[in-house]
Amino acid sequence: MILIVLLLLVVFSLAVIETKNLIYALILLGICNTLMSFSYFLLRAPDVALTEAAVGAGLTTLIFVIALKKIGVFKE
């Protein structure tokens, strides 16, 4: 199971690097952070998984959304 998660993490990480759209990159980065959190959980480190989910998938994604909104990527 852990190998599947790590393989998905590599695939999504490469997709983040290769995409040209910043919104898609942000979504893919959130998926990568969630997969990383899940891999820590599978490695029996729930405290690290919870921290990664809160900081990596939550706070970092929120900061990037705010930054992209300030530079005008989201057109209303």
**What pLDDT digit, counting tens, does each position of 17-65 carry?**
999 998 899 999 999 999 999 999 999 999 999 999 999 888 998 899 8
Say what the pTM is: 0.85
Residues contacting residue 64 through CB under 8 Å, at least 6 positions apart:
26, 29
pLDDT score recorded for residue 75? 74
Structural Rg of the chain based on CA atoms: 14
Segments making up each domain of the chain, as ranges? 2-70
- B/e letters for 5-41, b = 16+ CB within 10 Å, e = fewer, are beeebeebbebbeeeeeeeebbbbbbbbbbbbbbbbb
Average pLDDT in the 63-69 region? 90
